[in-house]
Amino acid sequence: MLNGVSFSVGEGEFVGLIGPNGAGKSTLLRAALGLVEARGEVAIAGQNAAAMTARERARRIAYLPQEREIGWPVSVEMVVSLGRAPHRPAFAGLDGADRARIENAMGRMELEEFRRRPATELSGGEKARVLIARALAQDAPLLLADEPTAGLDPSHQIALMRLFAELAGEGRGVVASLHDLSLAARWCTRLVLLDRGSIIADGPPREVLTRERLRSVYGVEAHLAEAEGGMLVVPLDMAAR
Ligand SMILES: Nc1ncnc2c1ncn2[C@@H]1O[C@H](COP(=O)(O)OP(=O)(O)OP(=O)(O)O)[C@@H](O)[C@H]1O
């Protein structure tokens, strides 16, 4: 459940949605997509999202769900190409521009060598990259990603955060829920901290991530440090109750 949550994402912002398990991060992303009933209004570029068709919304918002299941043993290339569906008339084939976007998305996620493999036969992290590539192929101005780094190795985690920062730099809005606070602090332009369905803090990473907040919201003692490229947040132990 969310209580009176209100926030907006501007072009060029890479927002990290952080907070403990059950804080409401997924619910907030799903409410923005109209997947859960929400009292209130979701506007995209000033237009009411509830009044849009699913196709119209999908052209404006790409979504990476938390679940990484791929139901059918279709090829990686086929899964990624589904990202173009909202842009094509029903039953129409892919045109050159669609193919270029699919290739670009697969290249960015380093999936070329997997293109003919059944997506169901990949490892957990590889599947995650396929689903991220599908969301990239959707080429929407707003990208909502639910725990996009879950299951990725350190190199692919950094590559993903770098890519999302680049997408924001190109003028898109990116919102990603994250549990790795160092990744969030180093790559996001802004953090929104949720706890029990409410926004506790919203601002630049250094302002949001304080030792006191990590103690009161996450219940952990953490070491905060500066390192090359930004802040480090290392949870050390449970906070004393
Ligand atoms: N379909 C649902 N029906 C009822 N309650 C739900 C449903 N989905 C989630 N909730 C509840 O809403 C709250 C927020 O859940 P949500 O999945 O948004 O948390 P989260 O911050 O994404 O957590 P996590 O870090 O564990 O993924 C939780 O208390 C959860 O039990």
Q: What's the length of the chain?
A: 241
* 151 in any annotated domain: yes
Which residue range(s) make up the domain with 67? 14-204
Token pair of 156 as six digits = 């692919």
Q: What is the pTM of this model?
A: 0.92
pLDDT of residue 91: 75
Token pair of 6 as six digits = 């209100």
Best residue among 25, 27, 199 to mutate for probing ligand 1's pocket (most ligand atoms within 8 Å of CB) is 27
pLDDT of residue 70: 85
Instruction: State if residue 24 touches ligand 1 by the CB under 6 angstroms criterion.
Output: yes
* 1 in any annotated domain: no
pLDDT tens for the chain, residues 1 to 241: 677 777 788 899 999 999 999 999 999 998 888 777 766 667 776 777 777 888 888 899 999 998 888 888 999 999 999 999 998 887 778 889 999 999 999 999 999 999 999 999 999 889 989 999 999 999 999 999 999 999 899 999 999 999 999 999 999 999 999 999 999 999 999 999 999 999 999 999 999 999 999 999 999 999 999 998 889 999 999 998 7
Q: Whose CA is nearest to atom 5 of ligand 1?
A: 1
- 14 Rama class: left (phi>0) / alpha (psi -120 to 50) / beta: beta
pLDDT of residue 211: 96
Bridge partners for 75 per DSSP: 118
56 Cα to the center of ligand 1, angstroms:
27
- Residue carrying the six token digits 């209130």: 40
* 241 in any annotated domain: no
What are φ and ψ of residue 65, in 5° steps? Answer: -75, 165
Task: Indicate which CATH number applies to the domain containing 28.
Answer: 3.40.50.300
Instruction: State if residue 182 touches ligand 1 by the CB under 6 angstroms criterion.
Output: no
> Is the ipTM above a cut-off of 0.85?
yes
Instruction: Give the number of C-alpha atoms closer than 13 A to the C-alpha of residue 149, restricted to the C-beta side.
Output: 26
197 Cα to the center of ligand 1, angstroms:
9
CA-to-CA dists, residue 64 to 50, 80, 112, 218, angstroms: 20, 12, 20, 25
* 173 in any annotated domain: yes
pLDDT of residue 38: 66
Give the count of domains, the chain.
1
pLDDT of residue 12: 94
Instruction: State if residue 23 touches ligand 1 by the CB under 6 angstroms criterion.
Output: yes
* 7 in any annotated domain: no
Q: What is the DSSP letter of 5?
A: -
* 2 in any annotated domain: no
Q: Whose CA is nearest to atom 27 of ligand 1?
A: 21
* 58 in any annotated domain: yes
Instruction: State if residue 21 touches ligand 1 by the CB under 6 angstroms criterion.
Output: yes
| Rounded CA separation 186/92 (Å) | 42
Q: Do residues 70 and 131 make contact, with C-beta atoms less than 8 angstroms apart?
A: yes
Cα 179 from chain centroid (whole Å): 12
* 87 in any annotated domain: yes
